[in-house]
Amino acid sequence: MSNCAWSEDFPMGRCRYLRFEGSDHRPLISYFNSDRPKRKGLFRFNRSLTEQEEVTRIVDESWHHSPLDSVIQKLNECRKGIIKWAKEQQVQSNLVIQQS
């Protein structure tokens, strides 16, 4: 059991419960693997993005890219596509600001 911050800091963290040994408490062993790079944060879909035709197209293409993908894989492809689009939009916005 963990909160969001703990899960983000230790994405590969796992716990193992040991047997009861002379007590009514179970020992708990936690494993942490810090070799995995830390992610920047959780992706949260902003409902206002549905007003963007490009985002709707990205979601549609990502979702129908491979019919054999699981729902998790399809959601992951949508997430990647939206993040890529958002970064491109940020770069374009910065260029417009600089040119003004």
Assessment of whether the complete model's pTM goes beyond 0.75:
no
Question: Structural domain tally of the chain?
Answer: 2
Residues 51 and 27 in one domain: no
Residues 52 and 85 in one domain: yes
**What is the domain range of residue 29?**
1-37
pLDDT at 53 exceeding the cut of 90: yes
Give residue 12's region: left, alpha or beta (phi > 0; psi -120 to 50). alpha
Q: Name the one residue in this structure whose structure tokens are 């939009």.
A: 89
What does the alpha-carbon distance between residue 35 and residue 28 come to, in Å, rounded to a whole number?
Answer: 22
Q: Are residues 92 and 57 in the same domain?
A: yes
Same domain for 33 and 51 = no
Position 74 confidence tier, pLDDT thresholds 50, 70, 90: very high
Q: How many CB atoms lie within 10 A of CB 55?
A: 20
Distance from C-alpha of 15 to C-alpha of 28, rounded to nearest angstrom: 7
Is 42 part of a structural domain of the chain?
no
Q: Are residues 93 and 63 in the same domain?
A: yes
What pLDDT, in 10s, does the model give residues 19-52? 877 777 888 888 777 565 556 677 888 888 888 8
Asked if residue 10 belongs to a domain, the reply is yes
The type of residue at 72 is: I
